[in-house]
């Protein structure tokens, strides 16, 4: 159900922004983008901030009103970028779950992301204390009373907020330290979070970044962030405007005992952290290297999206400098390394077809056999051979004139197979089906396939191949009608070319 909802939302945003700039395809990168906005604006605001019981509120009021044209707007940007960070992080977690990108060897990114989510809330809630208005007072009192339900402190820390005489300026200095240290630790976790991702997407496309930034700026101008009156520990705030992005749990303290609420929070985090193993995934076999066919070129190393391949000193005594080595804990069995290998070619005749690097359950020999079998199954009429990523949604699109060969990722298919199918007259056209532009299930497959077909990345499609007989299409998994329309459109294009060629031959006669 969740996947269906995301699919419909993504299709809607595709129409509005295009596949490449669809925010759902860049949720992780948008998280980094908003983090840097929050960090940059926070550094600027700290220049004007004073730590003190009365000085804190006064300095924030100066920022908001006296210097509204710069510091005031910066405060609003700080606030709204923080809220936006929560939105994209939560959506990112839900979307990765809906796509099942958390189990198996995906677990590392998931379990490093869970504490990052916790730290986002710590940073945001701590930031509200520093304003020291009535909302900050409510948050401070509620938080300390909630913390006191844990057996961690000898003296209840809520005693600091009994009245105006019990709170000292040193407490604000401590809060500033926490508010600076927590984001730094979160930044470290964010860096760890992407360590298994080669060429991780930490910057959204420029149009999306500009559009998002302008939206935040307009929101800051039209609805600036304001304080809610100075805090007064001698009174109890009765009417407050909550930030529901960060403070949604606080009203629950009025109906649920603090200890039970901690149990819910930590229990939820524990379940969230264990989800990659609930149930455990059946992991496909990792890629294996055949040293007899590996020349140490390093293309598999350059193309692996998950840093699963390293180049090591040669171990078999052959006259090459290096050999590929696979880290099975990082390998996602996507096959992009196979598509990058120069020895993964179907044109061999005198030797067994074994690539320098292979997926054990989907060897290149089997891909060649499937290609020949699909070609042999064609009847009279048009013949379109379809190589489809198993995650893109094109595998269920049937047609009398097409035969579909499924692969883990479309970029597992070396360009030489396109050449093979057309030069051996196994098909009239080759259709390559991949995930939506910028949203490859295995992160880089769509990009590598585009560059290989365009001759910008080895192994590239030979110049002798008629590009008009090759089509690379990218749609989302729930867009079966678009897949069918793309294949039908490609078929019509091939028929038109065949008709033009026949007309040319008749004219020549």
CATH number of the domain where residue 184 is located: 1.20.810.10
Statement to judge: residues 227 and 330 lie in one domain: no
Statement to judge: residues 53 and 185 lie in one domain: yes
Kindly give the pairing relationship between strand 429-434 and strand 470-474: parallel
Statement to judge: residues 241 and 313 lie in one domain: no
Statement to judge: residues 137 and 244 lie in one domain: yes
Statement to judge: residues 113 and 233 lie in one domain: yes
Distance, CA of 366 to CA of 408 (rounded, Å): 13
Q: Give alpha helix (H) positions in 205-281.
A: 206-222, 244-247, 258-274
334, two tokens: 């996507």
For residue 177, what pLDDT is reported? 84
With a cut of 70, list the residues of the chain below it in pLDDT. 349-350, 500-509
Answer yes or no: are the C-beta atoms of 79 and 195 closer than 8 Å.
Answer: no
End-to-end CA, the chain: 61
Answer yes or no: are the C-beta atoms of 467 and 490 closer than 8 Å.
Answer: no
Give me the numbers of helices (H) and strands (E) for the chain, helices first please: 16, 8
For residue 159, what pLDDT is reported? 82
Statement to judge: residues 295 and 209 lie in one domain: no
Answer yes or no: are the C-beta atoms of 334 and 442 closer than 8 Å.
Answer: yes
Q: For residue 384, is it within any domain?
A: yes
Distance of CA 295 to the CA centre of its chain: 33
Statement to judge: residues 172 and 131 lie in one domain: yes
Statement to judge: residues 303 and 259 lie in one domain: no
For residue 348, what pLDDT is reported? 76
Using DSSP, state whether 458 is helix, strand or coil.
coil
Residues of the domain holding 470: 288-503
On the 0-12 / 13-18 / 19+ scale of CB atoms within 10 A, 464 is: exposed
Distance, CA of 248 to CA of 254 (rounded, Å): 12
For residue 278, what pLDDT is reported? 87
* pTM for the structure as a whole: 0.91
Q: For residue 465, is it within any domain?
A: yes
For residue 38, what pLDDT is reported? 96
Q: For residue 223, is it within any domain?
A: yes
Residue with tokens 């796509």: 99
Statement to judge: residues 40 and 181 lie in one domain: yes
Q: For residue 391, is it within any domain?
A: yes
Which secondary structure element, helix H or strand E, spans residue 123, and what is its range?
helix 107-131
Q: Last residue of some domain: 226, 252, 277?
A: 277
For residue 280, what pLDDT is reported? 81
For residue 185, what pLDDT is reported? 93
Statement to judge: residues 259 and 367 lie in one domain: no
Q: Last residue of some domain: 233, 258, 277?
A: 277
Q: For residue 225, is it within any domain?
A: yes
200, two tokens: 């991780």
Residues 6+ apart with CB under 8 A from 214: none
For residue 176, what pLDDT is reported? 84
Q: For residue 509, is it within any domain?
A: no
Domains of the chain: total = 2
Statement to judge: residues 375 and 446 lie in one domain: yes
Q: For residue 451, is it within any domain?
A: yes
Answer yes or no: are the C-beta atoms of 376 and 421 closer than 8 Å.
Answer: no
Statement to judge: residues 248 and 207 lie in one domain: yes
Q: For residue 267, is it within any domain?
A: yes
Which tens digits make up the pLDDT trace of 132-160? 999 999 998 999 899 999 888 778 888 87
Which tens digits make up the pLDDT trace of 202-229? 999 999 999 999 999 999 999 999 999 9
């Amino acid at each position: 159900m969740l996947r269906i909802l995301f699919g419909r939302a993504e299709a809607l945003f595709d129409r509005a922004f295009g596949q490449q700039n669809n925010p759902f395809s860049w949720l992780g990168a948008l998280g980094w983008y908003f983090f840097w906005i929050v960090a940059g604006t926070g550094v600027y605001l700290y220049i004007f901030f004073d730590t003190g019981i009365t000085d804190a509120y006064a300095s924030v009021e100066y920022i908001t009103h006296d210097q509204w044209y710069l510091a005031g707007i910066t405060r609003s940007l700080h606030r709204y970028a923080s809220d936006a960070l929560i939105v994209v992080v939560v959506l990112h977690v839900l979307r990765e779950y809906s796509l099942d990108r958390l189990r198996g060897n995906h677990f590392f990114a998931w379990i490093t992301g869970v504490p990052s989510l916790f730290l986002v809330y710590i940073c945001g809630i701590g930031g509200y204390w520093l304003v020291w208005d009535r909302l900050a007072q409510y948050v401070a009192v509620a938080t300390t009373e909630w913390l006191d339900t844990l057996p961690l402190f000898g003296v209840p820390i809520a005693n600091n907020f009994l009245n105006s005489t019990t709170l000292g300026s040193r407490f604000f200095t401590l809060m500033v330290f926490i508010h600076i240290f927590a984001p730094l630790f979160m930044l470290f976790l964010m860096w760890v979070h992407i360590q298994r991702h080669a060429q991780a997407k930490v910057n959204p496309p420029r149009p999306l970044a500009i559009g998002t930034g302008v939206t935040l700026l307009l929101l800051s101008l039209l609805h600036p962030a304001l304080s809610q009156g100075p805090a007064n520990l001698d009174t109890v705030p009765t009417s407050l405007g909550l930030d529901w992005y960060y403070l949604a749990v606080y009203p629950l303290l009025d109906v649920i005992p603090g200890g039970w609420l901690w149990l819910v929070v930590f229990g939820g985090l524990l379940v969230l952290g264990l989800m990659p193993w609930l149930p455990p995934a059946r992991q496909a076999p990792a890629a294996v290297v055949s040293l007899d066919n590996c020349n140490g070129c390093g293309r598999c190393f350059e193309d692996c999206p998950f840093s699963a391949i390293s180049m090591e000193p040669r171990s078999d005594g052959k006259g090459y400098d290096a050999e590929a080595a696979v880290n099975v804990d990082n390998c996602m069995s996507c096959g992009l390394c196979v598509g990058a290998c120069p020895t993964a070619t179907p044109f061999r005749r005198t030797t067994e077809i074994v690539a320098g690097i292979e997926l054990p359950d989907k060897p290149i020999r089997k891909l060649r056999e499937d290609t020949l079998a699909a070609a042999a199954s064609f009847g009279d009429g048009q013949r379109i051979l379809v190589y489809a990523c198993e995650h893109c949604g094109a595998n269920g699109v049937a047609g009398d004139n097409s035969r579909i060969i499924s692969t883990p990722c479309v970029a597992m298919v070396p360009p030489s197979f396109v050449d093979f199918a057309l030069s051996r007259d196994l098909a009239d056209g080759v259709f390559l089906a991949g995930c939506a532009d910028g949203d490859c299930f295995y992160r880089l497959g769509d990009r590598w396939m585009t560059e290989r077909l365009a001759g910008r990345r080895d192994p590239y499609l030979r110049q002798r191949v008629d590009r008009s007989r090759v089509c690379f299409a990218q749609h989302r998994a729930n867009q079966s009608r678009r897949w069918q329309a793309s294949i039908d459109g490609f078929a019509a294009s091939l028929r038109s070319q065949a008709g033009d060629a026949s007309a040319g031959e008749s004219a020549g006669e």
